[in-house]
Amino acid sequence: MATLRMREALRDAMAEEMRRDEAVFVMGEDVGVFQGAFKVTEGLLDEFGERRVRDTPISENTIVGAGVGAAMAGLRPIVELMTVNFSLLALDQIVNHAAAIPYMFNGQAKVPMVVRMPGGGGHQLGPTHSHSFEALYLQVPGLLVACPSTPADGKALLKTAIRDDNPVIFIEHESLYGVRGEVPEGDDHVLRFGEAAVRREGGDVTIVGILKMAQVAEEAARTLSHEHGIEAEVIDPRTLRPLDLDTILDSVRKTNHAVIVEEGWPHGGVGANLSTLITEQAFDDLDAPVQRVTGADVHMPYSKRLEQAAIPHEEHVVSAALATLEGSI
């Protein structure tokens, strides 16, 4: 095991896959000489050269469109967008091209590409650079969506994404780039999509956390245990498409209570989708309605205090868990 930051684990995943397969290459704004806006591509240009680490013009629709064409021609591009909000400029290429081409050509054309995008709030980057767009891409058939919360999962999921023949939306939380964790070494450290992680076992309430909120959920679970004697089971889905719904439902059938935590907006969000699925398929096992903890229904403020007020924290998850357990404890 090696102890790595998230950005280092992601870099190692790309480097290992580029050594393994010459069809893999990286493209995006400032990924080469500058080594990435968040330094995730550090060292790749020195090792692989300009042919396989390509700095592009500042044009997201062009970057993703070129990636789609390269993927259809037999390469495996890793497209880095500087932040997730810029993907809106390439929405046509992602939704109407990357996701739809395999369907429109009956599988005769594949689009094996990865679009890496950092997102999330907490860095005072204002309303146009702090989005959580997991739900936006979750809705699109043909796309796989990965949301790692630990360095080990980041490396394993990215390696799997690069090897997959489908387009993958790979969302990284900006606040997690510096988080350290143990990461298995070796080229064979991969993780199949659609396998959730049980981060903490418990029998009183199920808490499902997305991306950074998986870590917030663990913090809340510790507080619930130490201060209230409540043992929460924490589930990290790791991928949203495909979704490991079975692990979530098994946990809900054990605890009879559920809380979903995400940083995105409340309307039409990941939590709304999961809440519906749980209610549809485990209604008779629920002793109370599913609780959702989300980001505020506002554009992200620039002010640090207001920004923090718009993002879910441990205390919000604790309150939601206590609310769904009211009358049961």
Whole-angstrom distance, CA of residue 185 vs CA of residue 188? 8
Residue 72 to residue 10: CA distance in whole angstroms: 24
Q: Which residues of 94-124 are buried (b: 16+ CB within 10 A; e: fewer)?
A: bbebbbbbbeeeeeeebbbbbbbbbbbbbee
What are the tokens at 138? 């979750």
Catalytic residue selected from 97, 129, 131, 257:
129
Could you tell me if 260 and 208 are in contact, meaning their C-beta atoms sit under 8 angstroms apart? yes
CA atoms within 13 A on the CB side of 8: 12
Tokens of 39: 């330094």
Q: Is 49 left (phi over 0), alpha (psi -120 to 50) or beta?
A: left
How big is the chain, counted in residues?
329
Contact status, residue 297 vs residue 266, Cβ threshold 8 Å: yes
| Consecutive H or E run containing 291 | strand 291-293
- CB–CB of 116/81 below 8 Å? yes
Neighbours of 234 (CB within 10 A): 28
- Asked about 16 being catalytic, the answer comes back as no
On whether the CB atoms of residues 228 and 322 are closer than 8 A, the answer is yes
Rounded distance between C-alpha atoms, residue 53 and residue 49, angstroms: 6
Is residue 80 annotated as a catalytic residue, yes or no? no
Of the residues 16, 17, 60, 80, only one is catalytic, namely 60
- Both tokens of 160, joined, read 């799997």
User: What are the backbone angles phi and psi of residue 32, rounded to the nearest 5°?
Assistant: -95, -85
Q: Catalogue the active-site residues.
A: 60, 129
